[in-house]
């Protein structure tokens, strides 16, 4: 009996640590080339994504059909770009608030998180950002944004450490980021702040460039967060370039504000570009979609192709399915 119990426990643990990684897909004929950096679920099969190189501030509406049993992506259709024709703010993250039927967009250029109606018009409301976040490195401000209607909390963080919190990771210094996860209430005022340490760059070579940071967050109904860490290693001619994605789980409710969050690895995967593989996908956006028929959590990821760089890259989409016993 002891042996059977141990075997059963081991099997359950393995299953809980083994989410399903569905095949990534692109839809070049259905979607304009872009620099897609954030995604949010609007309900049913409706989504919104942001392009950090848009000419004007706004977001693109999409219809994304997924298999209700497996979570695999069946189709992506463009439903138009929503904008008020104001200057773009280098929009990186987006989240949807069902109560107000509005979206909030992070602006890496101005360090603000502003509200928009679904027709693209700005409402004039924005999150009240604590002053400490003014101390960002250039082009390393707010990247991730999420909201959960059950907890009534927004969560955001910068892509890399604030200048006062340490160095940015490079291919030579191999240091991790120390980030601040900040929450806000429905009144748009700050609620609590926690520390989060990324992994250090894994690439062993000191040639080329590496970028490592948090590009996405997903707020769950029970208060936990899924964190998208990704490391991008770039080589001069792209051969040998890779993107390594890790999804971590943290639980702010189990710790005190100001503490360093403990993280649990859910899954990881790598895409690459070499002589035989052209799967390179710099996944920057992530959101929760509809639960599958068996109750499992569906995550949707979108990649930044740098406008389908030189015809080499694609606007990839990917889904990850998390076992229901791992994330009730």
The number of beta carbons lying within 10 Å of the beta carbon of residue 239 is 10
Q: In order along the chain (328 residues), what is the average pLDDT of each group of 10 residues?
A: 38 55 94 93 98 92 98 98 93 97 94 97 98 90 96 97 93 94 99 98 82 96 98 84 96 98 97 82 96 97 81 89 73
Q: Is 155 exposed, middle or buried (0-12, 13-18, 19+ CB in 10 A)?
A: buried
Structural domains of the chain sorted by starting position, each given as residue range(s) with its CATH number in brackets: 23-322 (2.115.10)
The answer for residues whose C-beta is within 8 angstroms of residue 239's C-beta and 6 or more apart is 273, 274, 275
Q: Return the C-alpha torsion angle 126, 128, 133, 135, nearest 10.
A: 90
- Predicted TM-score of the model (pTM): 0.92
pLDDT value for 313: 83
pLDDT value for 310: 67
């Amino acid at each position: 009996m002891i042996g059977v119990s141990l075997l059963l426990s081991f099997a359950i643990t393995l299953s809980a640590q083994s989410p399903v990684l569905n095949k990534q897909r692109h839809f070049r004929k259905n979607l304009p080339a872009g620099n897609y950096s954030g995604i949010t679920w609007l309900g049913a099969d409706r989504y919104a994504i942001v392009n950090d190189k848009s000419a004007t501030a706004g977001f693109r509406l999409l219809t994304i059909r997924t298999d209700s049993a497996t979570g695999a992506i069946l189709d992506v259709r463009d439903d138009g770009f929503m904008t008020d024709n104001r200057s773009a703010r280098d929009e990186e993250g987006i989240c949807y608030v069902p109560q107000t039927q509005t979206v909030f967009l992070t602006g890496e250029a101005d360090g603000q998180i502003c509200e928009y109606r679904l027709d693209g018009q700005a409402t004039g409301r924005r999150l009240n950002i604590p002053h400490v976040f003014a101390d960002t490195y250039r082009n390393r401000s707010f990247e991730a944004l999420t909201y959960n209607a059950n907890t009534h909390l927004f969560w955001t963080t910068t892509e890399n450490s604030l200048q006062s919190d340490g160095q940015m990771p490079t291919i030579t210094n191999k240091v991790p980021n120390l980030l601040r996860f900040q929450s806000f209430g429905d009144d748009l005022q700050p609620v609590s702040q926690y520390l989060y340490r990324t992994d250090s760059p894994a690439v062993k070579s000191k040639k080329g460039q590496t970028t490592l940071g948090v590009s996405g967050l997903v707020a769950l109904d029970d208060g936990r967060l899924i964190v998208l860490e990704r490391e991008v290693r770039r080589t001069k001619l792209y051969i040998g370039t890779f993107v390594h994605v890790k999804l971590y789980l943290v639980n702010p409710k189990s710790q005190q504000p100001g503490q360093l969050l403990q993280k649990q690895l859910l899954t990881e995967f790598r895409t690459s570009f070499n002589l035989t593989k052209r799967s390179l996908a710099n996944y920057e956006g992530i959101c929760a979609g509809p639960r599958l028929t068996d109750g499992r959590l569906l995550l949707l990821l979108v990649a930044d192709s740098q406008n389908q760089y030189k015809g080499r890259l694609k606007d990839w989409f990917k889904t990850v399915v998390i076992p229901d016993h791992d994330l009730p």
